[in-house]
Structure 1
Amino acid sequence: MPVDATTAVLEAVGAPEPMSVEPLAGGTYNTVARVTFGDGRDWVVKIPPAHATGLSYEHRLLVNEVTFYGAAAGATASIPRVVHSELDPGAPAGAYVVMTACPGRPWSALGGDLTADETRALRVELGGVVGRLHGVTGPGGYGYPAEPLGPLAPTWREAFTAMAEAVLADAERYGVRLPYSVGRIREVLAGASDVLDEVTRPALVHFDLWQGNVLVTGEPGARRIGGIVDGERMFWGDPVADLVSTSLFGDPETDLDFLAGYAAATGAPLDFTPAVRRRIDLCRSYLYLIMLTETVPRSAGPDAVETTWNEVAPRLVTAIEGLGQPPGRRQRAGLRTGAASDA
């Protein structure tokens, strides 16, 4: 049970008896609980599933998360501080990370509570935070710090190719419904990968910056970002990859407030050259492939699977076509019902 697992972690780290242990909802992978102590400390305990059946890149995700918070600490105050961590699933209490709780509620939960002016100000602030995160450079390679797909790669093209190949192999293994065959998608991604050689510095990329992972705090009229959380999907790579989730299902070029904050933090506006747009479409394709494929190992219900298909599959088609080399015979997204194959 979640509370029992959290209690085991608290005992392992020698924590005092908590005032409260509150399970946190919203995630789809880990067990997460907020723990409050009488001395005012407020922690979040995250525990991965003991026997996860997931995607290839999801092995040892806590390594990525701990790496993210450590690397980001000097770039922004809007992240948790790791208090305790155990990355060995064979440890007595299993693997876990204990971190300080950030103030605020998920941006996605505020809905209509935000005014247009507040939203614009938050977009500017978020752009600044992301720009500062992208100023952090990795330790000498590209890819996931947990190395689920092998050691960090010497180039971003090699890392991205391995990442894309892993999720395509997962799609085949799980028999996932895709709008094109795996073979065709592989061909298109490979044909566009030359633009990835533009990336010559492994930047810190969160890659899961949808509004559910951005906490907003403050009273109406004085809203601000209180936390950037769930850094477990991070990698060292192309900074434009974060534009895929910060503008999830939208166009980052029209997110002018975010771009203004980003430019202020980095010292230069982001230039959406044709090559940058192709890099964004490559990263979009990767994220959309993950979103479609993960529904199978996570045993999403029929309604959730259909909703994901309706939202994501047409956008994957658009991204693939945006790369300039769409798979042979285009098909309308939503009409293909078979499993992924190389046919």
Structure 2
Amino acid sequence: MRTETAAALAASGIDPASVVTAAAIGGGTYNTALRLTLADGRRLVLKLAPAAPGLTYEHGLLETEAEYYRLVRGPLPAVVGGGPGFLLMTELPGVPWAGARVTDRPRLRRELGGIVAGLHATTGDGFGYPQDPLRPTWSAAFTAMVDAVLADAARYGVRLPRPAAEIRHLVHRHEPLLDLVTTPVLVHFDLWDGNILLDGGRVSGIIDAERAFWGDPVAEFVSLSLFRPPDAALLAGYQAAGGPAEFGMPAWARLRLYRVYLGLIMLAEMVPRQDTDAERARFVAGHLAKDVDALQRAV
């Protein structure tokens, strides 16, 4: 057993000798995740933070994930233990939606929309990443988030499809739209199909909340509908369950801003992660260019 694993278990009040099996969980691109089975039958997941540098916001992410699970109500893991660089939690039933055979997608998407509405019932007192000082307004928080990832792109020599100065200018010009958001909602911001679990024909869990931030609930629909418009079934389930976001033109205009932000992250993070997939970079850059151009036309 790795020294870090044993130390995390001991810090969580669990005897490392009680671990019967330990297996790596694939699919992640940042933290290391292990599935543990204990002698008493409990199944836990241990996440360990990497030592390698990342983007500016990628610090204290496991503490953010633990805070998300403690604050938000939904089909989420329960925190068993946590500390600097590690998070121990219960394992949820099910398999990732990504790659699973689904026969009734609209029904599941509607169910997912209702679950996300419940997640968005958690509100706070400031905007931004929980691991950083919060800002009083969403425009101040979001423009700082964009500025940080643009600085990361410059630091790592990332080639962007549009000049960084142009992107920064466009985002800052949309501050009045961002100021329409006055209630900080805890947004997961990584709800792609790989982080949604299915079991028995139902949505059984939401995982990997380390990239959560206090912000606009509309931002959630970027990863929920990655590289495509949000679908009617998802929106219907969200609105039927009382989701706090409105979906008029201002909301869709803000969604473009959040797509630009995620695109910047996806390109910039490839360098510190040593991801040399040129086809992936071209695909993301192409979508980022389209989103930046859409912002330009909207000005």
Per-residue CA distance 1:132-151 (angstroms, 9 max, x = gap):
1112101x10001100xxx1
Other-structure match for 1:69? 69
Q: How does 1:110-189 map to 2 (within 5 A)?
A: 110=100, 113-115=101-103, 117=104, 119-138=105-124, 140-147=125-132, 151-189=133-171
In structure 2, the residue corresponding to 1:58 is in which secondary structure? coil
Other-structure match for 2:242? 266
Structure 1 residue 273, shift from structure 2 partner? 2.1
Whole-Å separation in 1 of the counterparts to 2:106 and 2:177: 32
Are 2:299 and 1:309 equivalent residues in the alignment? Answer: no
Per-residue CA distance 1:279-325 (angstroms, 9 max, x = gap):
00000000000001100111112xx2x12222211211121122235
Other-structure match for 1:244? 222
Q: 1:242 to 1:267 in 2, by over 3 A?
A: closer
Other-structure match for 1:19? 20
Whole-Å separation in 2 of the counterparts to 1:299 and 1:132: 37
In structure 2, the residue corresponding to 1:19 is in which secondary structure? strand
- Report the identity percentage: 47
Count of aligned pairs between the two proteins: 297
In structure 1, the residue corresponding to 2:57 is in which secondary structure? helix
Per-residue CA distance 1:32-83 (angstroms, 9 max, x = gap):
101111222111001101x3210001011112101111111xx31x100001
In structure 2, the residue corresponding to 1:160 is in which secondary structure? helix
Q: 1:291 to 1:132 in 2, by over 3 A?
A: same
Whole-Å separation in 1 of the counterparts to 2:149 and 2:235: 30
Per-residue CA distance 1:235-279 (angstroms, 9 max, x = gap):
000000000000001101xx11111110111168x6432211110
Contact 2:63–2:83 (CA<8 Å) still a contact in 1?
A: no
Per-residue CA distance 1:87-146 (angstroms, 9 max, x = gap):
3xxxxxxx2111000111111031xx211x2x12211111011111112101x1000110
Contact 2:22–2:34 (CA<8 Å) still a contact in 1?
A: yes
Other-structure match for 1:290? 265
In structure 2, the residue corresponding to 1:180 is in which secondary structure? coil
Please identify the structure whose Cα radius of gyration is greater.
1
Other-structure match for 1:38? 39
Other-structure match for 2:80? 83
Other-structure match for 1:323? 295
Per-residue CA distance 1:143-191 (angstroms, 9 max, x = gap):
01100xxx10000000001100000000111110110111111111111
In the TM superposition, structure 1's runs of 4+ consecutive aligned residues that sit over 3 Å from their partners are 324-327
CA RMSD of aligned residues (A): 1.7
Q: 2:274 aligns with which of 299, 306, 316?
A: 299
Contact 2:11–2:81 (CA<8 Å) still a contact in 1?
A: no
Structure 1 portions without partners, runs of 5+: 88-94, 328-343
Contact 2:12–2:80 (CA<8 Å) still a contact in 1?
A: no
Whole-Å separation in 2 of the counterparts to 1:70 and 1:225: 20
Contact 1:45–1:96 (CA<8 Å) still a contact in 2?
A: yes
Are 2:8 and 1:9 equivalent residues in the alignment? Answer: yes
